[in-house]
Chain A
Amino acid sequence: MTTSEVPLTQEKEQEKGAKAKGDRGFRRPRMLGAGKQLHAGPVTYVVLTVFALVSLAPLVWTAIAASRTDQRLAQTPPPLWFGGNLFNNLERAWEEASLGTAMFNTTLVATTITVGTVLFSTLAGFAFAKLRFKFSSALLLLTIGTMMIPPQLAIVPLYLWMADLGWSNQLQTVILPTLCTAFGTFFMRQYLVQALPTELIEAARVDGASSLRIVWHVVFPAARPAMAVLGLLTFVFAWNDFLWPIIALNQDNPTVQVALNALGTGYVPDQSVIMAGALLGTLPLLIAFLLFGKQIVGGIMQGAIKG
C-alpha cells in the first residue's frame, strides 16, 4: 500500500454524453503519475467476502429451512445443510397458502404496473427534459416533491372508495394507484436530458413530423436502455410492494406479499412451509437479478449520481 494510490474515478467520464447502456460494470484502469493504480489488497477481499456472506446467508438458509421438516427446525442446533423435504413444502405452500394464485396475480400486477410506469414516465420525462413549456421547472419540482408523501396518507380514502366501487379484493385496486410514478418520471428525465440530442427533435420537427411520430421514432429509440432499467426497477418494486396490497386484498385473491403476510401471521403454522413460501415468492426476483443484475446495479447507480 502506497500513498499515491487513488480510487478510480473514470466511470463518470465515460458516462458523460455516452449512451450509458445501463452498463456501468466496466472500468478503464486509471494511470497515475507513477503508473500505479489502486488495486484491492487481500484485506479488501476478506472484508468484501464477509459482507457477501452476510448478504447471501439468510437467503441460502431460507432454502435450507424450506427443505427440512417443521420438527427439525424446532431443534437445536439449527440445520446447516439441505434436507429432503423441499418439494413437499413447496407443494404445501403452493396449495395451502395460495402461493400459486399469488404468483400468477403478482406477475400480472407487476407486469401491468411496469408497462404503464415505463410508458408514462418516458413521455413525461421527455417533456421535462426536452420541451419548453410554461411552469415546466415548477412542475418538475412538484413531481420530485411528491416522492416525500408517504403512502399512509392515501390508504384510508382509497380503501373506502374501493369498497364503494365493489372492488374489494380485485387486482385493479393494487394496480391503479402505482401505474405512474414520480421516481420514474424523474429517472427518465435525467437520462433523456443528456442522451437525446435536441437537434434530432428539431430536425424531425422541420421535416414535419407530428409529436407522436417524434415520440415513436426519435424518443423511444433513444430512451430504450433507460426504459429497460426503469422497467427492471419498477418490476422489483411492484413485486415487493406491501402496505397497500395487504390492506386492499386478502387471502382469497392474494399477491405474493399478501400470501407471505398471511403465512407470517399464522395462516399455516408450519415453519418449513413458511420458508418454502418465502423462497418461492423471492425466486423470480433472484432469477431476474442473476440475469440482469448488472443492469439493475447500473440503474441504481445512474439514478443516484444525478439525484
Chain B
Amino acid sequence: MKASPYAFISPFFIFFGAFSLVPLLYTAWYSLHNVQLSDLDNQTWAGLDNYQNLLSSDFFWNSLWVTLVIGVISTVPQLIMAIGLAHLLNYKLRGSTVWRVVMLTPYATSVAAATLVFVLLYSWDGGMINWLLDFVGVDPINWRESDWGSKFAVSTIVIWRWTGYNALIYLAAMQAIPADLYESASLDGANRWQQFRHVTVPQLRPTILFTVVVSTIGATQLFGEPLLFGGVSGSKGGSGHDYQTLGLYMYDQGWVIGNLGKASAIAWSMFLILLLIAVINLLVSRRLRKSQ
C-alpha cells in the first residue's frame, strides 16, 4: 500500500516529464543554438544570438504589440459580456439547460471550423458583415488587410467561441453565493442593480481573477484564429503583419522560414512573459486578500 500512491500519480508525471518538462529544457538549449529546419544535423552554438536577434527585430516587437492588443480587445468585452450573460442565466428560466447548452455550442466548434466561417462572413465582397454594414451606410471594410479591422475581426472569433464558456463558469460561482447576502441587501433597500454591483460582483472576485488568468494564458498563445484568418499569408498575420501574434511569429520563424533556434527563443520569451504575468497575479491576489 505504501508505494501505490506514487504508482497512481506516476503516469501523469512520466507523461509530463517526457512531453513537457524535458522538451521545455531542450527548447532552452535549442534557443542557444543555430538550428535550421533544412540542415538539422548541423547545430552550432549561438550563445544569445537568437535572443539578440529577436530584440532587434521589428517583427518581434510588432508581434508583442499585436498579441497585447488582440488580447485586450478579445478578453475584456468577452468577460464583461459573460458576467452579464451569467446573471441572466441565473434567473429562473424556462428550459434553463437548453439555454446553457446553446450558449456553449460555439465552444464545440473548433478554432479551425469557426475561423473558416468567419473568414467568409468578413470577406471583402459578398461577405455577410460588409453587406449588413452597407445597410447602415458604412463602406465595405477590407477586414483581412486593415490594421484595426483585422485585429477586431480576429478578436470577434475568440469572443464568439469563449463567451458562453466563461458565462457558465461565472454562473457556477454565482450559484455559490449565499442567499442571505441578497436577502439582507434587499432589506437594506438595494435594488437589483445595486445588488448585482455590491453583492454579486464582490463575491465573484476570485472567479473573475481566475478567468482573467486563464484568458490571459490563452491570449498569449493565440495562434489558430489569426493563422486561418490570413489564408495564404496567414503565418505572416496578413501582408502587413497586422495580426501576427507571438504564437504565429514563432510558427512562421520555425516552420515557414525554417529557423528552429529562433523559434525556440520566441517560445521561451512567451514563457517568460507568462511567468511575469503569474507573479503579477500572485501579488494582485495577495493584495485583494489583504483588503478583504
Number of A positions contacting B (CB below 8 A): 116
Do A266 and B231 have beta carbons less than 8 Å apart? Answer: yes
**How far is B260's CA from A286's CA once the two chains are assembled, in angstroms?**
37
| B99 contacts partner chain A, Cβ-Cβ < 8 Å | yes
Select which of A7, A40, A177, A296 is within 8 A of B182 by beta carbon: A7
A113 to chain B, nearest CB (A): 11
Instruction: Specify the chain B residue showing the minimal Cβ separation from A301.
Output: B172
Chain A's interface: helix, strand, loop or mixed, by majority?
A: helix
B126 within 8 A of A: yes
A278 to B120, CA, bound (A): 12
The answer, yes or no, to whether B263 is at the interface (CB within 8 Å) is yes
Total A-B residue pairs with C-beta atoms closer than 8 Å? Answer: 331
Given A180-B12, A242-B111, A242-B223: A7 in contact with B174 (beta carbons within 8 A): yes
CB contact under 8 A between A131 and B8, given known A150-B271, A243-B223, A296-B104? yes
User: What's the least CB distance linking A196 to chain B, in Å?
Assistant: 14
A124-B11, A179-B15, A281-B110 in contact; A156/B260 too (CB < 8 A)?
A: yes
Nearest B residue to A58, CB-CB: B117
Q: Do A281 and B169 have beta carbons less than 8 Å apart?
A: no
A150 to B255: give the CA distance in the assembly, Å. Answer: 18
Interface assignment of B103: CB less than 8 Å from any CB of chain A: yes
List, sorted by A's number, 25 A–B pairs whose CB atoms are closer than 8 Å: A3-B186, A5-B186, A6-B179, A25-B96, A37-B92, A39-B91, A40-B91, A52-B103, A124-B12, A132-B5, A146-B20, A150-B267, A152-B250, A153-B24, A154-B19, A156-B254, A160-B260, A177-B15, A236-B107, A260-B110, A264-B112, A264-B234, A266-B231, A294-B101, A305-B173
Q: Which residues on B are within 8 Å of A, measured CB to CB?
A: 1, 4-9, 11-13, 15-16, 19-20, 22-24, 26-27, 30, 35, 40, 85, 87-94, 96-97, 99-121, 125-128, 131, 160, 164-165, 168-169, 171-179, 182-183, 186, 189-192, 195, 200, 207, 210, 217, 220-221, 223-224, 227-228, 231-232, 234, 247, 250-251, 254-255, 260, 263-264, 266-268, 270-271, 274, 278
Interface residues of A (CB under 8 A from B): 1, 3-12, 25, 27, 29-30, 32-33, 37-40, 44-45, 47-48, 51-52, 54-56, 58-59, 61-62, 65, 73-78, 120-121, 123-124, 126-128, 131-133, 136, 139, 143, 146, 148-160, 163, 176-182, 185, 205, 211, 215, 236, 239-240, 242-243, 247, 256-257, 260-261, 263-266, 271, 274-275, 277-279, 281-282, 285-286, 288-289, 293-294, 296-297, 300-302, 304-305, 307
